[in-house]
Amino acid sequence: MLSLNYKSGVPICDQIVNGFIRMKALGLIAAGDQLPSVRTLAIELGVNPNTVQKAYQQLEAGGVIYSVKGKGSFIAEDDLADTAVIKAAKAEFEKAVKAAAELGLGEEELIGLVKTVLKGEDRA
């Protein structure tokens, strides 16, 4: 299901959030699917349950999941979840563009890189 990279520098909570968003975007999970309980996922990933709880709270605030008291957390209806997935993708893209610009990549180079990626070409 989810895999974490402890060396990436990305907070574990964010990796969990992004993991579920990625799975939704790829169609690996669908509207109405139940997520593992906080405790179960924490054990599977070897992380503190508070970290998983925080991730679930962020996913719920973003409209990706909803919680039913006493039942658990579920993937939200497609329109809500898809909007949240697109919003998250845009935010990640914006962060990447800003980081690249701060490292000195110009507008032409960034646009060229986006075109290359969209064409599915490798770029060295």
**For position 93, what pLDDT does the model report?**
86
SS3 of 58-78: the string is: HHHHCCCEEEECCCEEEECCH
Q: In the predicted model, what is the mean pLDDT of the chain? A: 88
Task: Convert the pLDDT of each residue in 88-99 to its tens digit.
Answer: 778 888 888 888
List the CATH code of the domain at 12-119. Answer: 1.10.10.10
State pTM to two decimals: 0.70
CA 17 from chain centre, in angstroms, equals 5
**For position 122, what pLDDT does the model report?**
64
pLDDT-derived band at 123 (thresholds 50, 70, 90) equals low
Q: In 3-state terms, what secondary structure has residue 65? A: strand
